[in-house]
Amino acid sequence: MKKSRLVMVGNGMAGVRTLEELLKIAPDLYEITVFGAEPHPNYNRIMLSPVLAGEQQLDEIILNDWSWYAQHGITLHAGCRVHAVDRARRVVHAVDAAGQPVSAEYDRLILATGSRPFMLPVPGRELEGVLGYRDIADTQAMIAAAASHRHAVVIGGGLLGLEAANGLMKRGMDVTVVHAGERLLDRQLDETAAALLQASLAERGMRFLMQAQTRALTGDGQGRVACVHLQDGREAPASLVVMAVGIRPETTLAEQMHLHVQRGIVVSDTLQTVTDPRIYAVGECAAHRGVAYGLVAPLFEQGKVLANHLAEMGIGRYPGSQTSAKLKVTGIHLFSAGDFRGDEGTEEIVLSDPGAGVYRKLVLRGDRLVGACLYGDTEDGGWYFRLLRDGVAVQELRDRLMFGESQASQASQASQASKASQADPASGA
């Protein structure tokens, strides 16, 4: 029996995880071809920060090496950029690193094009030394810059920006973080946790320019960036500027294909594009029920559903994901999930010990946990997330909820034992 042809554009974590799941349940169903724009096999993008910091090497973050593709009969065109898809003839057209045309016919097509960093539209952004932070090439350029330059500016005080700043500091650079908001990690931390984080990072030598809007970048007269100028007149010397102000779904190819795009490639609960049922989108490029996810866990959940559908089982649906954020910067552990800011209808339970560098805030609505924000000690983050995601009633755990899973489970066992003893007539004899 002739195999169906499955082609995937993109060789990142979401797409390859989809293939892994598919190969588990239907290893012989498809002849698989993958186009990857980068000249590398699939790697763990999350671990670029430790590579930048010198804590890991590039070869240590490879998830699926060259032999994995060969072992599973997957044709991988690495360093090969797709420039067009003929939907009528069902052909993908690309150009390899040598400029030679490459094409592949498909019966099913997966778009796993990921995202691209948003570059601020300010004068000077074209100067040498101005980078986004998204892939191995960006990381290598930052490592090279750190070897020969002193001053770095990271624009953006979010997860990615702080990880970049930390890595550059570990490479010996003087780093200033320019952030438009009033506090770091605006989306992941409340005011108290953000203040603790900034104070701790400042102690380590990181500088901050807060509530700062970048006006322009100027050069050194030889084509390299030299200074960042802010709207309020402040300046920061910089021979390296990293823009970490957000990402955008990479939808250029999808738009050329006339697929419906709105905040990403619009997909159904089976990850099929709403325009063409033969074409799927997964990962950061996909918009599901109006949401484009930028975290790994939802993307892997999408991959499992898509694999199920490609395997012609048709029983999986992707309903969307509850998300959490976990960050480790210079030994500081952070975790947040759900509605950790709360509102008039919620109640907060707070544990704060600034001396020990520990802060916990749990937000409850009725007998349900709806949000959590942890600083310093995040060991119970996974447990809080499961309670939140699964909508577990926490009334019986309430008094010990703040102290984590082990304490709460001990209390629960004691409560159950007490109830059992009261129910047993012989227990009082």
Distance (Å, whole) CA 320 – CA 268: 11
Give the pairing type, strands 286-288 and 174-178: unpaired
Question: Using CB atoms within 10 A of its CB, is residue 397 exposed (0-12), middle (13-18) or buried (19+)?
Answer: buried
pLDDT, residue 362, reads: 96
Listed as own residue / partner, the contacts of 216-219 with beta carbons closer than 8 Å and 24 or more positions apart are 216/122, 216/123, 216/124, 217/122, 217/123, 217/124, 217/125, 217/127, 217/130, 217/241, 218/124, 219/124, 219/127
Do 4-116+248-310 and 130-243 fold alike per CATH?
Answer: yes
Report pTM: 0.89
Structural element, H or E, at residue 410: helix 405-423
Query: Which pLDDT belongs to residue 424?
Result: 54
Identify the CATH number of the domain defined by range 4-116+248-310.
Answer: 3.50.50.60
Q: Tell me if the domain spanning 331-413 has CATH number 3.30.390.30.
A: yes
Distance CA 370, CA 272 (A): 31
Residue spans per domain, the chain: 4-116+248-310, 130-243, 331-413
Give me 374's structure tokens.
Answer: 């942890």
**Rounded distance, CA 310 to CA 197, Å?**
44
**Among 331, 370, 302, 299, CA closest to 200:** 331
Average pLDDT for runs of 10 along the chain of length 429: 94 98 97 98 95 95 98 98 98 97 98 96 98 96 97 95 95 98 92 94 96 98 98 98 96 98 97 97 97 90 96 88 77 90 92 91 96 94 94 91 84 50 48
Can you give the pLDDT at residue 407? 82
Q: Which CATH code is given to the segment(s) 130-243? A: 3.50.50.60
